[in-house]
Structure 1
């Protein structure tokens, strides 16, 4: 799939190209992005990857948002929980041909890694693979916000204030980052319901690889409720936005596209 995506993208002429890879949590997009970078390097390109997850706001700033905006905003993931200025600064620096440190986020610790631990992208980068679960997604129609999509919204956002604020962020704050994407590919699962199993598997693999404990299945299920509204909206809208849309089966295999 990495080879196919690299072959499908339009060729860049002279400046760094940003390939966007949009896919739900646990779908394997980080692994695919790493494979794309490895394949690009085999082809002689200077390439690197950056995840939207890597620019989550530090926990302290999310807690400040929770106090100022809504308690649900303490959880990473929803619109408004990203440091968009940092993401844009990184991409601008790389587009200018300069070396740049790439932010990284520790999901098990729920905290951004210190800048001293960020990997370096060298000068003259030719390809940046930017991946994220809500990459390229626009706001919903305000009327669609009226009804809660899950228990979390019913019980903790009964008046809709949180989801309205998140929707405003999608409308006002994220387009500047989406405009940096030169070519967007979307991976589509069979439905949102299968994402829970994928994300539980991802959490288990991450914890096992690092020898630390992560979220249990119940915690993952609650975490995903923070993302469900925008996740379902992404599945409905990205096929019309992305340059390439690949349909996945329940085992994350491409079945069409």
Structure 2
């Protein structure tokens, strides 16, 4: 029942390729949200960033147009204040496992919460499954939450989100590395001008540090062959023929210090 089909793995590979080809400075999270909605028959997918200490919440979302017109940040805050079981569980325990609401409380307890009433009244989606991202600071939790109506998530769907979570964690770590590497506004504009992807910018930064293809592959979790492919794309987009020229061209564009 919980076994994944070949098509499930194909979807994950397709998503990984699409995320890595996302041009900077665009966020790859809408791609992820769209995939989650399609794979899990979700009505709405939210990426929530909640500070458990202050209650401050940020949100990114995929939703049909009629839902997208709703004040989602307000709904999220009301859901948190209304005692959403998943929010309470993650804030209290620091658990990083993907979980559905019914993994935390029984359905009758869930139906008695104010959060259930708010979501049922506004979007009609009361089946939720969460996929946590790594915590950045104590008391803060970030999760993708897939919302839908109808039956609860079955074992195959739960297996799917467990398999997908490491990919999302890697994407999140990669985005934060880009920030650490100084992806400021000027760099973002230059990346857009040259049409470099996020992965290509990462390879470029490490090339400038003098790392070999093998070392870059180990740092980014990809093969040396893939590094060479990204390098070829870099040379083409920067009109360069070697590493030094590519680095100098990147500096001219403001991609590197």
Structure showing greater relative contact order (alpha-carbon pairs closer than 8 Å, 6 or more residues apart): 1
**Greater per-residue helix proportion:** 2
Q: Structures share a fold, TM > 0.5?
A: no
Identify the TM-score tier after normalising by the shorter chain. under 0.3
In the superposition, the TM-score normalised over structure 2's length comes to 0.27
Give the alignment's TM-score, normalised by structure 1: 0.27
